[in-house]
Structure 1
Amino acid sequence: MTENLLHLLQVMGTTLRLPVSFVVIEFIGTMAFAISGIRLASAKQFDWFGAYIVGTATAVGGGTIRDIMLGIPPFWMTNPVYIICCGLSLLYVILFGKKIIRQQSTWFIFDTIGLALFNITGLEKTLNMGYPVWTAVIMGCVTGAAGGVIRDILINEVPLVFRKDIYAMACIAGGIVYIIGYSVGLQAEVNAILSAIIVISIRTLAVKYHWQLPILKGEDHKEE
């Protein structure tokens, strides 16, 4: 059974242009983002199907946009495992998620983990396709942040990435760290851990200490 699972991961890794360990990372990120989307949908009183749609859009939205921009079929269209992962996330929230639904901190944890892990898969996939490093940083940011934009639109909220919170900038910082490690030949898994730590740390510290980007003020906000 273990050999069959390893073979499946290797096949998926070849298809996704990712190392086997990064396929596992993508699964974990899918679950984390799906749970964060389903949790917010539940707060808006969505039914099970609506919550599943929001969770799935959160989990695969960024990767879909990335793959379209890279000129390849979206990853979830060639393997149903990701859609199944989102279904399992919904089941988890239904059965065990009362604390997840109630607590704001649990949404933040899942959203931040998904952001960090999807940023990594976007970076690695883009680099493996031969694109330059600056493109990889952008695609990592798209993979990590775009799903959250779709989620917020579906639940009728201003997307978090467009507000004053440090969100996409955390992806860019993690992407730069990943590129530096990639350039000096750091092992991919170690590089991924360092990048994830940077994204999670920046996002956590930004929320804790209220770090914000400057707000662009329009005509209505000019001082008299």
Structure 2
Amino acid sequence: MTIWYLTDLIGTSVFAISGALSALQKKMYHDLFSIFFVGFVTAIGGGTLRDIIMGAHPIAWIRDPNYLVVIIASVLIAVLCRTWWLGMLRRPLLIFDTLGIGIYTILGMQKALAHGVNEWAAILLGLISALFGGVIRDTLVNDLPLIFDRQLYATPCLAGAILYLAGLALGLDTNLNFVLSAGTITLFRLVAIRKGWSLPRVE
């Protein structure tokens, strides 16, 4: 069990909680299956699309049951602790979503580069890994997907992805490069939320 495998499971858990919280905020308390389904597609949506594009088979969650175990456990935690999540944290969905995009942008890039794609394609596949699950989640709960909003969402992912490639070019330690790049995405996104930063509107 490598550090990257554990990190992948942590990212899966974070996104599953993000999806479940999104469903809970939409008052879907009465339907546990709906909450699980939103958490499930949020957790695996981006990675599944990335692997389909690369032709990487079998897809991780189909091959390894631990992903489903983690998703089920994470959704149950979100449901059982819903009063705490939704009462004590002002914006729990954004917090978990931000952690998820930081982890999955870089994990997605690593997996893409390991399959021999070029660096620009690796950036795009990293963004797909991080963002597509959230797009599905927001669509299912009838929200405007954050990627289509003016707030900075994909931009922090792009900045972290470029930083990761720069670290590779400089021969930076792999673990340190991951932490710095994923941390940059997370911090950039949180500051953007705090400051209300957004991209200029095209008239």
Point out the structure with max Rg over C-alpha.
Answer: 1
Residue among 22, 27, 31 paired with 2:13:
31
Aligned to 1:4: none
Q: Which residue of 1 is the match for residue 86 of structure 2?
A: 101
Percent identity over the alignment is 37
> How far apart, in 2, do the equivalents of 1:148 and 1:173 lie?
19
Letter in 1 for 2:44: V
Which residue in 1 is equivalent to 2:26?
44
1:176 aligns with 2:158: no
Structure 2 CA distance for aligned equivalents of residues 179 and 146 of structure 1: 21
1:69-108 equivalences under 5 Å are 69-73=53-57, 74-102=59-87, 103-108=89-94
The aligned counterpart of 2:152 is: 166
SS of the residue corresponding to residue 46 of structure 2 reads: helix
Q: Is the 8 A contact 2:23 2:141 kept in 1?
A: yes
Q: Deviations over 1:90-122 (max 9, x none)?
A: 111222231213334222221111110011110
Residue 110 in 1 paired to residue 100 in 2?
no
Unaligned runs of 5+ in 2: none
Which one of the candidate residues 171, 181, 184 is aligned to 1:195? 181
SS at match of 1:164: coil
Measured in 1, the distance between the counterparts of 2:120 and 2:134 equals 22
Does 1:57 find its partner at 2:50?
Answer: no
- The Cα shift of 1:72 comes to 1.4
State the AA in 2 paired with 1:191: N
TM-score for the superposition, normalised by structure 2: 0.94
Q: CA deviation at 1:154?
A: 0.6
Q: Write the distance in 2 (CA, Å) between the matches of 1:182 and 1:22.
A: 17
Q: 2:194 aligns with which of 200, 208, 211?
A: 208
Letter of the structure 2 residue corresponding to residue 148 of structure 1? G
| Structure 2 letter corresponding to 1:109 | I
| 1:15-65 Cα deviation digits (max 9, x unpaired) | xxxxx2111111111111110110010111221110000001001000011
Residues in 2 aligned to 1:82 and 1:165: alpha-carbon distance in whole angstroms: 31
Secondary structure of the 2:19 match is helix
Post-superposition shift, 1:81? Answer: 1.2
Runs of 4+ aligned structure 1 residues displaced above 3 Å come to: none
TM-score, with structure 1 as normaliser: 0.85
| Number of equivalenced pairs | 199
TM-fit CA distance, 1:88: 0.2
Unaligned runs of 5+ in 1: 1-8, 10-19, 218-224
Aligned residue among 88, 113, 131 for 2:117: 131
Whether the 8 Å CA contact 2:24–2:82 is kept in 1: the answer is: no
2:14 maps to amino acid: A
SS of 2:200 mapped into structure 1: coil
SS at match of 1:120: helix
Shift of 1:196: 1.1
